[in-house]
Structure 1
Amino acid sequence: MKKPVEPKTLREKFSIWMINEGGRQLFFGTWIFLHLLVAVFGFMNYQLKDNLVDARALFGVTFTIARTAALILHIDVIFILLPVCRNFVSLLRRTPLNDIIPFDKNITLHKATAWSIVAGTVVHVVAHMVNFYKLAMADTDAKTTGQRVLAFLEANFNTGPGVTGWIMTVSLGIMVFFASEKRRRAHFERFWYSHHLFVVFFINWQLHGMFCMIKPDRPPYCSSNTIGVFWRYWLIGGVIWISERVLREIRSRHRTYVSKVIQHPSNVMELQIKKEKTTTRAGQYIFLSCPEISYFQWHPFTLTSAPEEDYISVHIRVVGDFTQALAKAMGCDFEKKGKEETPAGGKVVGTNVNPSVNRLLPRVMVDGPFGSASEDFLKYETVLLVGAGIGVTPFASILKSIWYRMNNFNNSKPTRLSKVYFTWVIRDFGVAEWFHSLLHAIEEQDTQGRIEINIYLTAKIKEDDMNNIILQDVGAEKDAITSLRAPTHFGRPNWDRVFGSIAEKHPETDVGVFFCGPAVLSKQLHQMSNKYSDPKGTRFFFGKENF
């Protein structure tokens, strides 16, 4: 087993840093630097501009701070929509720009920009509250404290900038509240609908700067070049976003129907869908909508079908409100416990052709497919695929496609892949039982041993069960738990041994490491990829599913 290489020179450290960290950190560093640059030059501009002397005299430095924060917020408008333009991002990630810009971190950029907007809004609002206080105190008609309080409230709620500003602030607060990770996962519908308050937010933003409440010292006081300029910053991202919504409407009207519904054990439903004018790649995902449940809700699901198959499929774990409603609409009944056990291979509950199980299946709409980190697996000669629990789903499509390509089935394209290490970390082997048959088929056809399967069972096993497993394993050709030739390992993987072994077997090779699962394990694999990367030898490129 090869030991990790300790970088000695600054150049070696930089080379290792550039493998997994460099591009991403340089991009976000540039993004932060741009904000700082705008803040510094914006502050200097508003502090030194010769036609804003009266405003600075009345309000002081808080006027400059409010204007500078507003300028930064306008810069954020450029970025906020582009990361969620998924067709645009999927197109760009297939270009050489993908080696420079971390397109797979598009949601991270969206969140970072959103938090920048929150921070800018807080600074802008606080500065203007001070400005409104100074305006109320300078009001010659306000003689008493009560009159000054009234003047302060009028500035907030009886002026165009005040009213539109508070509408924007409330809208932003609601969006941020429901977008937190915990609330979004628990109540996706609330997140989905509340996030569309961005339309209200943007409209009021455009109106917010059109009232010319604080005038410059000399004309032109309110020219189109100085007020209501929000649309100029929004234009590029806004036009692309609207184009994507139009494209979604067009694609959702392509002939699409569910050809088969299979109810699997462990509350998993498989939908096999046929859709015209759709070309997929392994590792991609789609957005799915069922108008019978909600016309406006679109949910992302990873494709489990390979490009070589004549349908697209998704395996959906029935856990939330939408998935439960979808399963019921498709005819699945996971509430029958004890009455009728679902067979390991799944039970067909709906099809569009077989009269014996035929039922009227609801209409579905499909948008996509869209690219993800796992789509890059074909760039490497050796790949390590790691799935944790139900996180194994993205690799169904990839393993199928690799299997087709290595065996030249269904007119599939050849692949440069020579070795695939698939590692599945699960607590209970009952999780994702639908995946078992795929592993069996791959192992039976993989006569050259190019796909190595390793399953790690982390749950604590009773002593009696362990004794039975040991007895059955003695002299057996297949594993007693999985019925695969590949043995089941008990406990968590020794990642030092896994990465060291791959580095030893594949010297001077670029290895793609693809993962889907919890953040804790993702961080560990990311660290291991850096630890065992050698700029002059084996390099491990880490990628995580993120949509």
Structure 2
Amino acid sequence: MLGSQDFAAGYYQVLTYTGIIIILSIIYQFNQISKYITRTKWPQIPDLPSRREGKKNEGEQSTTTYLPDTTKIHAEPTVMFHKFTNYTLHVFSVGDMTVGEILLFVLFIVINLIFLLSPFPADASGGETFSKRCAYLALANAAFVFPLATRNSIFLKLIGVPFERLIRFHRWVGRTIFFLITFHGSFQIQQSYEGSESVSQALVGTPTNQWGFLAYISLIIIMFTSHSVIRRYAFEVFYWSHFSFIFFIIFGNLHQPEFIQFTAIGMGLYIIDRLARFIFGLGTINVIGIEAIQSGVTKIIFEFKDYYESGQYMFINLANLNPPVSLLAWHPISFSSSPSVMDDGVHYASIHMKVQGGFSRNLYARSHEGLQYNQVPLKMRVDGPYGKTSLDFMQHNTVVLVSGGIGITPMISILRDLVDRQVANMPIVTQSIYFLWVIPDTDAYQWFGSELRELMSRAGTLPQNKYILDVKVFLTRSTTTPSSIFFQGRPDFSIFFHDIKRFHGSGDIAVGVCGPAVMLKQVRNAAVQSSDETCLFKVHSETFEL
């Protein structure tokens, strides 16, 4: 019924992947229902511990209003597991990965090896059996590589993992396909060469070899233009060359008709995603204002009536920025605003983009001209919002937000949302917010200086014994500190986390971080070191690797 045993190996591997996704979906949906039930309950907001001893007159003893609870709320095995899986290591040629991510990758490789080496009976010789097994397992992985690259991801609905965090899995699967196809193709070419007179005859001497060779060339183009250097410094080359997958699909089906049996559903989901993005991205939105801020940052304020969450991002297109290239160029950018929590009828959003490449450089240069470029109104299209934070910050009493440079954009969106909800007296658990921003100098502070001052002013109207907003700005290249919120140098996250834990006592702490890779690693490992039975530091990191 399943044809060859090698086909069966790929078929059962697809079923294994599907079974894992179903189990994760059940767990995720159960957790979502539980969160929804608890979210409807209005939280009890206790008094915060005294941050310092109160003033005392002569003959009086200092008193504190409330001492932090230091009850152990986690078992030691839970803490050890948290520390082990969240510790970050640098993996050569891959980048920083947590031990948990490494274990997931190892599990993925083990599943492939099990089906690759399982002793299925076959009529062919050992080498040929292994070669065909490689091809069918590559097809089994190809069934998932396409939906893993969709922005309107089915995985977000099923297991709560959004596009930007699935990209790493997409790369794992893509590279596995490449290595499996490489072995398969090498063996088949060797077999063909032994019975032919030339290399070209071995490569394209038969229709089957010809289509397989062309499919492999398409795969090579995708692999080598997907390197991080190409993605970062020549994004358009990476983006357009990635469409070589169309030829991989066409030539692959001509090479092996069973190709479509594995890839049909995944390709269907990808096509649906592309159509949805095309339709939703057709209309333009009203741009309210554009401003060139100090140190190469452009701020755009625009009308946005769709629902979005703090910390999310979108893709924008400015069709008349640099035509004809800009007609099709879409760029990811985080919301720096937060969704309005009060029905005030205002539906504005904002983004901040730092000069890092050709698109952002052109935008910054032309932002000095205002809303019209060469007498033509600025046209902006939006695809999104996308993304989902891995932590529910509103369900943690204490929140720490860490930013490096322009990485402040998603973090200040979360900060604004939390303060808005506190001021509006909404059912939010969060009492204490610590906001750390590491920048070179005070010029960079101008990017969000007015917004931070406004937030501190609004938070100052809240009861001081119930809420804290502590903002610290670290200047790495400045010898002066203009006010009490500024500090020289870089923060020691381990000391900072220990101080917060000592002050607040029992209760898990949510940490959000966005910035350079070195900062992300420091924050993650400091969170691991500071976690114990009274408090787990749970980290959500923002990275937008494409």
5 Å matches for 1:2-41? 13-14=80-81, 16-17=83-84, 24=101, 27-41=104-118
RCO higher in structure (CA 8 A, sep ≥6): 2
**Structure 1: distance between partners of 2:269 and 2:426:** 33
Name the SS of the counterpart of 1:537 in structure 2: coil
Task: Verify the 8 A CA contact 1:514 1:544 in the aligned structure 2.
Answer: yes
* SS of equivalent residue, structure 1 residue 431: helix
Pairing 1:83–2:80 present: no
User: Which of 112, 119, 122 matches 1:49?
Assistant: 122
Gaps of 5+ in 2: 1-50, 52-67, 88-97, 341-345
Give a deviation string over 1:408-451, Cα, whole Å, max 9, x none.
1xxx8442211111111122232252211111111122213521
Cα offset, 1:508, TM superposition: 2.4
Alignment match, 2:362 = 325
Cα distance 1:102–1:538, how it changes in 2: closer, same or farther (>3 A)? farther
The alignment partner of 1:300 has SS state of strand
Deviation (angstroms), 1:163 = 2.1
Aligned to 1:196: 243
Aligned length: 451
Taking the aligned partners of 2:264 and 2:432, their CA distance within structure 1 comes to 47
Distance in 2 (alpha carbons) for counterparts of 1:199 and 1:290: 27
| Partners of 2:156 and 2:162 within 8 A in 1 | no
> 1:498–1:11: structure 2 CA closer, same or farther, 3 Å change rule?
closer
Give the aligned partner of residue 250 of structure 1: 279
- 1:131 counterpart residue number: 191
Given the alignment of the two structures, is residue 298 of structure 1 paired with residue 330 of structure 2, yes or no? yes
User: TM-score, normalising length from structure 1?
Assistant: 0.76
Secondary structure of 2:367's counterpart equals coil
361 and 102 in structure 1: CA distance in 2 versus 1, 3 angstrom threshold? closer
Q: Secondary structure at the match of 1:305?
A: coil
Q: Mark the CA change 1:454 to 1:374 in structure 2 (over 3 Å): closer, same or farther.
A: farther
Change (3 A) 1:531 1:509: same
Cα displacement string for residues 451-497 of structure 1 (whole angstroms, at most 9, x for unaligned residues): 111111122x4xxxx4xx4xxxxxxxxxx52x4xx432211212221
How big is the shift at 1:236?
2.5
Does 1:498 find its partner at 2:496?
yes
Correspondence for 1:421: 434
Select which of 444, 460, 471 maps to 1:453.
Answer: 471
What is the Cα deviation at residue 396 of structure 1? 2.3
Q: Which whole-Å CA distance do the structure 1 matches of 2:76 and 2:262 have between them?
A: 44
Alpha-carbon distance in 2 for matches of 1:358, 1:505: 57
CA shift digits 1:280-331 (9 cap, x unpaired): 1100000112233433322110011111161222111133112233445xx4
Once residues 62 and 296 of structure 1 are traced to their aligned partners in structure 2, the CA distance between those partners, rounded to angstroms, is 46
Comparing 230-239 and 102-111, the one that deviates more: 102-111
CA contact (8 A) 1:426 1:456 kept: yes
Pair 1:280 & 2:308 matched:
yes
- Match 1:430 to one of 438, 443, 449: 443
Alpha-carbon distance between aligned partners in 2 of 1:125 and 1:443, rounded to the nearest angstrom: 62
For 1:49, what is the secondary structure of its paired residue?
coil
- Identity between Structure 1 and Structure 2 (%): 27
The separation in 1 between residues aligned to 2:154 and 2:520, in whole angstroms, is 23
Query: Residue 430 of structure 1 aligns to a residue in which SS?
Result: helix
Contact 2:143 2:262 (C-alpha < 8 Å) held by counterparts: yes
Going from structure 1 to structure 2, the CA distance change for 1:380 and 1:254 (only over 3 Å counts) comes to farther
Residue-by-residue CA offset, 1:126-181 (whole Å, 9 max, x unaligned): 21222112332xxxxxxxxxxx22xx422312322222222222222222222211
| Structure number with bigger Rg | 1
Q: Which residue number in structure 2 is paired with residue 239 of structure 1?
A: 268
Evaluate the alpha carbon distance shift between residue 77 and residue 17 of structure 1 in structure 2; reply closer, same or farther with a 3 A threshold. same
Cα separation, 2, equivalents of 1:435 and 1:450? 20
When normalised by structure 2's length, the TM-score is: 0.76
Q: Aligned Cα RMSD in Å?
A: 2.9
Written as runs of structure 1 = structure 2, the 5 A alignment for 1:68-467 is 68-88=133-153, 91-92=156-157, 97-98=159-160, 105-136=165-196, 148-149=197-198, 152-209=199-256, 228-276=257-305, 278-292=306-320, 293=323, 294-308=326-340, 310-327=347-364, 331-333=366-368, 349-350=370-371, 360-373=376-389, 376-408=392-424, 413-431=426-444, 433-447=446-460, 448=464, 450-459=468-477, 461=478, 466=479
Letter in 1 for 2:476: T
User: CA distance change for structure 1 residues 521 and 128 in 2, over 3 Å: closer, same or farther?
Assistant: same
Q: Deviations over 1:65-107 (max 9, x none)?
A: 2212102211221221222222225743xx6x34xx7976311
Contact map agreement 1:290 1:326 (CA 8 A) in 2: no
